Amino acid sequence: MQTPREILADLWTSVGGNRSALDRVTLTGDEPQLPSSFRVAAAAQVSIAAAGLAAANNWRLRSGQSQDVTVDMRHAVVECRSERYLRVDGKPPGPAWDAIAGIYNTGDGRFVRLHTNFPHHRDAVCEVLGCKPERDEVQAALLRWDGEAFETAAYARGGVVAMMRSHDEWSALPHAQALAELPPICIEKIGEAEPRPWPPGDRPLAGVRVLDLSRVIAGPVAGRTLAVHGADVMLISSPTLPSIPWLTIDTGRGKLTSFVDLKAGPGRDVLRGLLAQTDIFSQGYRPAAIAALGFSPRDAARISPGIVYVSLSAYGHAGSSTSSWAARRGFDSLVQTATGFNHAEGAAAGLAGPKELPAQMLDHATGYMMAFGAMMAKARQSREGGSWHVRVSLAQTGRWLWGLGRVADGFATEDLRGESIAPFIEETSSGFGALRSVRHSAMLSKTPALWSRPAMPLGSHAPQWPERG
């Protein structure tokens, strides 16, 4: 198997990174760090190191100064479970899942996973099943369905579910075969524009403006990572959109947060005004949904020539963008289920059913991949000009993780807890109370990572950019 340094070198050079920059990177720690048959610790360390190295590269472009980047493996994997360790005024998170979320049996002997944390997703599942949102009723109803038929019907109704597949079953699907032709991060030029000069500042992304239109983990982690290197990140939400409060706090560190109603014309006008002054537009909407609002990649490049547009999807853009998989909503837990991870972990642990990865690694690693791709595209824009489109997906990250190899006897490893976590925790104030949260694990020698803005409740700031410099 490749070492973490070799994995990083492949990822770095795959998007045009200069191999000589790797001489300034130090990776510490050993695998495994968590009980798993997959190399989750290596994935955490490498994805965070890639983003840190991209930040150091941006600093070199704007200042002429090189610097060292160090990432410890244990710190990285703790950061990729940051939501577990957050404390607000000393209190731990509440229940992570809705009452009917989780794994169920179907009538044909398959397993399906329901993601019902948002009320409209729960309602869609119950409408398909014709039952109340109670676990016993849901299970009884699912025993009258075949797994794949339910998966299809639930998605058609607006639910988010997944039937458990083995990796071989997933790999046999035409969509997975098309996805296998793609790298973990796709970067393409989508328009002509003059190079944008770097704004003044003493951080790798100081003065760089980022619009963050994302929820839950992957997209928000990307915005949080850009913010830790000095970007002005504005999270755009709406009072009508559901959210998961604990994740909003954890991933909101370093960000401005504004309400803009994109369902109404005036709200879209506000976003167009912001976009015209934006450097990076990061979003997790489905392609048809964002295009219908007037903010597709091509739309954004017309509004803001020179934009770096970052698209996140669950199952990847391979094949037709309207194919059933490319257009599906999804979350980390569902992609793990659909693409073979739950099946493989269960088998490795000696279980008859599914088992989750010990972290939402597809989400977290994808978030760092997004930030990495955004910074590499921004660097390219500063040199060559143009507008650029960065595309990542949970499924592409999953394919990358699978390709790193498996850990023999991985479940003999003890989970991290207690004193092993303490060195990576910091205490800060916020708009929610006193926070104890995980520090960023990429250590840069000349521009240390830090969040200069506290986490604040959604909609705390006016939708307008602060002055640069």
Helices 361-384, 218-228: inter-axial angle, 10-degree rounding? 50
Q: By mean pLDDT, which of 186-190, 324-328, 391-395, 436-440 is the weakest?
A: 324-328
Question: Does the pLDDT of residue 319 top 70, yes or no?
Answer: no
DSSP state of 38: B
Q: Is the peptide bond before 32 cis (omega within 30 degrees of 0)?
A: yes
Token pair for 353:
């059913």
Q: What pLDDT, in 10s, does the model give residues 248-257?
A: 999 999 999 9
| Least-confidence region, from 152-156, 207-211, 326-330, 389-393 | 326-330
> In the chain, what's the furthest Cα-to-Cα distance?
65
pTM here is 0.96
356-392: buried (b, 16+ CB within 10 Å) or exposed (e) per residue? bbbbbbbbbbbbbbbbbbbbbbbbbbbeebbbbbbbb
pLDDT at 328: 86
**What's the order of all strands across the beta sheet hosting 87-88?**
87-88, 435-438, 425-428
Closest alpha carbon to 215 in 302, 151, 289: 289
Q: What is the DSSP code string of 301-318?
A: HHHSTT-EEEEEESS-S-
Q: pLDDT tens-digit profile of 110-131?
A: 999 999 888 889 999 999 999 9
Q: Could you tell me which CATH class the domain 4-93+179-318+358-444 is placed in?
A: alpha beta
pLDDT at 321 over 70: no
